[in-house]
Structure 1
């Protein structure tokens, strides 16, 4: 009857459903010399729990810590540099670009810039005319390929 009770407690223990009193019953059973042969595999586990309960930490724990304020001062300096950079960047550059109050002035400036773009675009497009000469040259190379094919037919390479 006791063995059945121990097996049920072991099953509950493996499922994590035992109380502290039931676990103490299991520990007491496995500390005794009358452990059933088919339950011998659990004995080292409960022996380990008994030994680990008696272990103590004997080393000294240093409670004083030495704080280094270097990182704090570096972060403060970084924030100051950042704020100074933002301040001098925004206070010195108050120049407004590209805005006109008079619509006629805005249109004239736009027309001037578009005529400059058009002039440079036309200059670049005029140099593209040479590409047609290159195309004519490649066409004559096509005739050379035809000539080579005919010579291959004649000489049967």
Structure 2
């Protein structure tokens, strides 16, 4: 009769319907050495609860504070690293005068004829690339025409 009662209590336990007294009864049953073989799978669960209930928290962290000299040394080292990093990213200019930039660097030309020739070269390059793109559009329009012939609306 006790085994049937334990099985019913387990069912109630996993449904969340047991009282504290019934849960204590389950803990004492699974703590004993006479557990039915088909219920041994639950034994470790209830033994875990018993062990964890008895566990005590013991803080193992040391609350030792660092002395003042160490903190000052760490602050100085951090500021030294900060300023060294800052100096790495600042631009170093040995000649404080502003250097004049040549007109060739800016893409400017001396004569209008030279500018006209360069403009024609640039437009020819643009035109050739646009023509390649237009060939692709022609393929798409051919595809559309073929599709309309096959799939008539």
TM-score, structure 2 normalization: 0.41
TM-score, structure 1 normalization: 0.40
Larger Cα-atom Rg: 1
More helix by share: 1
